């Protein structure tokens, strides 16, 4: 119980929230890193997944990629990139590692969503004389959107988690509060940092769940 | 028995480039290469110990997770009120980043392997409970009814009919949980119990490329080996699936 009280004291101490190592600055770093990497990985993964899903090719790639993503330790990739020449360019090694781990859920879910579109609907659209592009953007993408968004949600939560581990490899973000706590042998700070990270991760998940609830019924879909 | 001699003892001092300093050995360790055979030969004990620790951490936590997940899944299936909380809590636990999870458990277990094992158990619960539940719900009602008609009691129904039929889904969850645990255990390096993660962590601090790459590759190999092993176990436990595949 003592640890809970001391962690609470750490969290309620205003001095811990301000400055270079303060919570607000670390939170801003974490948000910035997560948002930038989510944008980058969506830009890379979604077009590929939508085109592959539209053409019905590369299914094995989409499935195997998520298996590979699970088997390769995030921490190992972070450290490996840090020791390559890329590691010399500030946050780039962290950004690349984060994007690499956000791509598999995006790609797999978008691909599965595209393949899950009712073939009758696709045939009807083709019968109406729709071109490939019209079919992709006007029919398949809207129908696949619920699963695409599920992929974005999983990727966002994954990014928050990976950005936390990045603190072990010298990256910024809320994880720094935890690693600094370990270096100071301060259990209250470690626990307080962990609480902040956990709440942040749950909030990110909550925002996506809430957005889905508020979205129109056709967007919610039956899947995911 | 002759005492092992260093190759440099046979060198004449005049062959050294500097008369004052011994020349450092020109091997891949000194060059800090990514791939280094010398590393494997000189540190094989370190690698073996770390690999064993890694296997213990992941094996123990997945086993504990399975032992906890079966009753939880059965409870969630039997009692309607329990399903929501069980699935909700395990999902929330799964959302917490691993570094935070281990840190939250620190006051409970202190700096020990239990922190890592407990964290990995909590992660595996989500995947296992969901898959066991899905497997049990996928058992055809006909099979259940036939067993009841043959006079099977609830326990015998579960052990002899439902669990075997749910096995493919359960094993799928077990494989994902195991592969994830192998990968997540590396983060345990933060408390000093990360198996191969410890080598990655210390290799990072000393810029020791061969150590980081070797430990990372070993991690991936363990994950792949564990996945294939469980796939083999699944094939052995469900011979009827193989017969069905052959019939197709």
Distance of CA A134 to the CA centre of its chain: 29
pLDDT digits (tens, 9 = 90+) for B98-148: 999 999 999 999 899 999 999 999 999 989 999 999 999 999 999 999 999
Q: Which helix (H) or strand (E) holds B152?
A: none
Query: How big is the CA angle at B168 (ends B163 and B173), to the nearest 5 degrees?
Result: 100
Q: Which residues form the domain of A160?
A: 2-220
Residues 6+ positions from B215 with CB-CB distance below 8 Å? A76, B47, B50, B196, B197, B199, B200, B203
User: What is the C-alpha R_g of chain B?
Assistant: 25
Eight-state DSSP code of residue B25: P
* Domains of chain B and any CATH numbers: 52-235 (1.10.3720.10)
pLDDT digits (tens, 9 = 90+) for A154-190: 999 989 998 999 898 888 899 999 999 999 989 999 9
pLDDT above 90: percentage of residues in chain A: 64
The whole-number average pLDDT for the span A146-150 is 91
The whole-number average pLDDT for the span A134-159 is 92
Q: What is the pLDDT of residue B31?
A: 85
Q: Are B44 and B100 in contact (CB under 8 A)?
A: no
Average pLDDT, chain A: 89
Retrieve residue B22's tokens. Answer: 């011994």
**List of chain A residues whose C-beta atoms are within 8 Å of the C-beta of residue B213:** 80
User: Which pLDDT band holds residue A202 (cuts at 50, 70, 90)?
Assistant: very high
Residues 6+ positions from A182 with CB-CB distance below 8 Å? A190, B190, B191
Q: What is the CATH number of the domain that holds A132?
A: 1.10.3720.10
Helices (H), chain B: 28-31, 37-42, 44-78, 80-95, 98-109, 113-137, 141-149, 154-156, 163-184, 196-205, 209-237, 239-247
Beta carbons of B107 and A187 less than 8 Å apart: yes
Q: How many interchain CB pairs under 8 A, A with B? A: 127
Q: What is the pLDDT of residue A152?
A: 95
A129: left (phi over 0), alpha (psi -120 to 50) or beta: left
Q: Return the C-alpha torsion angle B78, B79, B84, B85, nearest 10.
A: -110
Q: What is the pLDDT of residue B99?
A: 92
- Note the ipTM here: 0.87
Q: Exposure string (b/e) for B13-22, b if CB count within 10 Å is 16 or more? A: eeeeeeeeee
Q: Which helix (H) or strand (E) holds A103?
A: helix A92-115
Q: What is the pLDDT of residue B17?
A: 54
**List of chain A residues whose C-beta atoms are within 8 Å of the C-beta of residue B204:** 79, 82-83, 169
Q: Measured between CB atoms, which of B97, B190, B223 is closest to A197?
A: B97
Distance of CA B231 to the CA centre of its chain: 15
| Beta strands per DSSP E along chain B | none
Averages of pLDDT over runs of 10 residues in chain B (248 residues) are 47 52 75 88 92 97 96 91 89 90 92 95 93 93 93 92 93 95 95 95 92 95 96 90 76
Domain count of the fold of chain A: 1
Q: Are A50 and A136 in contact (CB under 8 A)?
A: yes
> Distance from B173 to chain A by nearest Cα, in Å?
13
Q: Measured between CB atoms, which of B96, B107, B220 is closest to A201?
A: B96
> Distance from B175 to chain A by nearest Cα, in Å?
10
The whole-number average pLDDT for the span A9-32 is 91
Rounded Cα distance, B17 and B204, in Å: 32
Rounded Cα distance, B193 and B110, in Å: 12
Retrieve residue B160's tokens. Answer: 């002899």
Rounded Cα distance, B216 and A77, in Å: 8
Q: Measured between CB atoms, which of A67, A72, A205 is closest to B95?
A: A205
At residue A223, does pLDDT exceed 70? no
């Amino acid at each position: 119980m003592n640890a809970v009280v001391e962690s609470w004291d750490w969290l309620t101490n205003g001095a811990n929230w301000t400055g270079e190592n303060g919570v607000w600055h670390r939170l801003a770093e974490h948000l910035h890193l997560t948002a930038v990497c989510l944008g980058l990985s969506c830009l890379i993964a979604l077009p590929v997944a939508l085109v592959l899903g539209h053409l019905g090719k590369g299914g094995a790639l989409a499935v195997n990629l998520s298996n590979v993503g699970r088997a390769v330790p995030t921490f190992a990739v972070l450290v490996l990139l840090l020791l390559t020449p890329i590691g010399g360019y500030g946050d780039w090694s962290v950004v690349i590692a984060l994007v690499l781990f956000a791509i598999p859920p995006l790609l797999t879910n978008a691909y599965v969503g595209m393949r899950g579109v009712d073939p009758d609907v696709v045939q009807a659209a083709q019968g109406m004389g729709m071109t490939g592009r019209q079919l992709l953007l006007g029919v398949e993408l809207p129908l696949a959107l619920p699963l695409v968004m599920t992929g974005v949600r999983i990727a966002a939560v994954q990014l928050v988690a990976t950005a936390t581990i990045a603190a072990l490899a010298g990256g910024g973000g809320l994880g720094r509060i935890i690693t600094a706590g370990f270096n100071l042998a301060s259990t209250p700070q470690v626990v307080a940092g962990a609480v902040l990270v956990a709440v942040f991760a749950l909030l990110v998940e909550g925002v996506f769940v809430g957005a889905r609830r508020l979205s129109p019924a056709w967007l919610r879909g039956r899947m995911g | 028995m002759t005492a092992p001699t260093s190759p440099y003892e046979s060198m004449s001092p005049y062959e050294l480039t500097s008369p004052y300093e011994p020349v450092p050995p020109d091997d891949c360790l000194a060059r800090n290469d990514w791939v280094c055979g010398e590393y494997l030969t000189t540190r094989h004990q370190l690698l073996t110990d770390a690999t064993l620790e890694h296997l213990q951490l992941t094996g123990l936590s997945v086993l504990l997770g399975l032992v906890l997940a079966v009753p939880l899944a059965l409870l969630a299936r039997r009692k309607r009120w329990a399903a929501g909380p069980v699935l909700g809590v395990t999902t929330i636990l799964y959302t917490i980043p691993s570094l935070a999870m281990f840190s939250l458990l620190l006051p409970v277990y202190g700096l020990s392997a239990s922190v890592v094992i407990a964290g990995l158990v909590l992660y595996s619960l989500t995947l296992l409970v969901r898959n066991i539940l899905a497997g049990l719900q996928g058992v055809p009602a006909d099979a259940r009814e036939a067993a009841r008609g043959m006079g099977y009691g609830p326990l015998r129904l579960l052990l002899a009919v439902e669990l075997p039929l749910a096995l493919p889904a359960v094993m799928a969850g077990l494989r994902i949980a195991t592969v994830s645990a192998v990968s997540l255990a590396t983060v345990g390096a933060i408390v000093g119990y990360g198996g191969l993660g410890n080598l990655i962590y210390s290799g990072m601090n000393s810029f020791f490329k061969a150590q980081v790459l070797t430990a990372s590759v070993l991690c991936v190999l363990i994950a792949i080996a564990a996945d294939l092993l469980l796939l083999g176990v699944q094939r052995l436990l469900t011979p009827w699936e193989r017969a069905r595949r052959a019939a197709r």
